[in-house]
């Protein structure tokens, strides 16, 4: 806690004064372009990875970057997605998984989660991805962690399409979905390409955008 407290003090004394005009502008409202859905893992910092500033990302985090399919029951993720899309008018939604994900490890071996029943139930939202990988190989184990991480991202993109606000915006082309996987150790970001059906390194997947921004081979862009 000492680090957090000293960090707040530094922010108030050094950072805020330098950017007071920016924060004063943000105090009146927000207009993010991107809804960024990722894992709660402490090693994943969306703003650091994307080099974005306050007000640019509407971030939702939970164990396993899960998007529950739309139901009649209200939940935090459902309400946040609806608000971001219908209320704030985001034009892009990123679902970002990551390497060495504890939630995905739990989805591989749910029998180890008997002492965490709520976690086990939550990871039921990953079960279709687990079934796909198991069907592909005839079994599923720790050696399939990276593959399942990618498959889970694709599943959560499917779940997003069941939400009425998202479906409506997709129908008129006002929202674009993106599936990413962040490699904690290398810093690499893989992005799903609908055309190839594969996850590709970011500077290949978004080469046109990177060229327009003059960032080709720099390894980063907002999709």
CATH number at residue 60: 3.40.1050.10
Triad 113, 189, 166: Cα angle to 5°: 75
With CA atoms as reference, report the closest residue to 223 among 57, 55, 24: 57
pLDDT attached to residue 140: 96
Provide CB contacts within 8 A for 63, sequence distance 6+: 39, 40, 102, 103, 119, 122, 123
**CA–CA gap between residue 199 and residue 182 (Å, rounded):** 11
Instruction: With respect to residue 219, please indicate whether it lies within any of the assigned structural domains.
Output: no
Instruction: Determine which helix (DSSP H) or strand (DSSP E) holds 88, and give its type and residue range.
Output: none
Verify that 187 and 99 share a domain, yes or no. Answer: yes
Print the domain residue range for 46: 32-213
The per-residue pLDDT for 74 is: 86
Residue 106 forms part of a structural domain: yes
> Is 223 a domain residue?
no
- Are 84 and 145 contained in the same domain? yes
Chain-centre distance of CA 127, in angstroms?
18
16 and 125 in a single domain? The answer is: no
- Give every residue of the chain whose pLDDT is below 70, as ranges: 208-223
Q: Are residues 96 and 120 in the same domain?
A: yes
**What is the model's pLDDT at position 208?**
66
Answer whether residue 218 is part of any domain: no
Q: Which residues pair with 179 in a beta bridge?
A: 95
Whether 59 and 9 share a structural domain:
no
- The answer on 91 and 20 residing in a single domain is no
Q: Name residues whose C-beta falls within 8 Å of residue 190's C-beta, 6 or more positions apart in sequence.
A: 150, 180, 181, 183, 199, 200, 201, 202
Asked if the structure places residue 66 within a domain, the reply is: yes
- Residue 23 domain-assigned (yes or no): yes
CA Rg value for the chain: 19
The dihedral over CA atoms of 178, 214, 57, 37, expressed in degrees to the nearest 10, equals 20
Q: Give the pLDDT confidence score for residue 213 in this predicted structure.
A: 56
Q: What is the pLDDT of residue 219?
A: 34
Domain count, the chain: 2
What are the residues whose beta carbons fall under 8 Å from the beta carbon of 69, sequence distance 6 or more?
Answer: 125, 159, 162
- pTM listed for this prediction: 0.91
145-160 b/e (C-beta count within 10 Å ≥ 16 → b): bbbbbbbbbbbbbebb
């Amino acid at each position: 806690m000492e680090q957090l407290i000293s960090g707040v003090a530094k922010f108030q004394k050094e950072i805020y004064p330098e950017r007071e005009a920016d924060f004063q502008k943000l105090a009146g409202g927000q207009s993010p372009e991107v809804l960024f859905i990722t894992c709660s893992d402490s090693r994943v910092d969306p703003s650091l990875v994307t080099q974005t500033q306050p007000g640019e990302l509407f971030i939702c985090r939970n164990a396993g970057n899960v998007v529950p399919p739309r139901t009649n029951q209200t939940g935090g993720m459902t309400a946040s997605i609806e608000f971001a899309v219908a209320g704030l008018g985001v034009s892009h939604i990123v679902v970002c998984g990551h390497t060495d994900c504890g939630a995905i490890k739990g989805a591989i071996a749910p029998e180890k989660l008997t002492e965490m029943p709520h976690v086990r139930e939550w990871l039921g939202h990953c079960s279709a991805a687990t079934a796909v990988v198991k069907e592909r190989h005839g079994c599923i184990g720790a050696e399939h962690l990276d593959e399942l991480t990618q498959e889970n991202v694709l599943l959560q993109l499917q779940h997003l399409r069941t939400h009425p606000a998202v479906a409506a915006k997709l129908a008129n082309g006002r929202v674009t979905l993106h599936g990413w996987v962040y490699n904690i150790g290398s810093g690499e970001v893989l992005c799903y390409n609908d055309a190839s059906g594969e996850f590709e390194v970011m500077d290949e997947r978004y080469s046109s955008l990177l060229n327009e921004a003059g960032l080709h081979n720099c390894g980063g862009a907002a999709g």
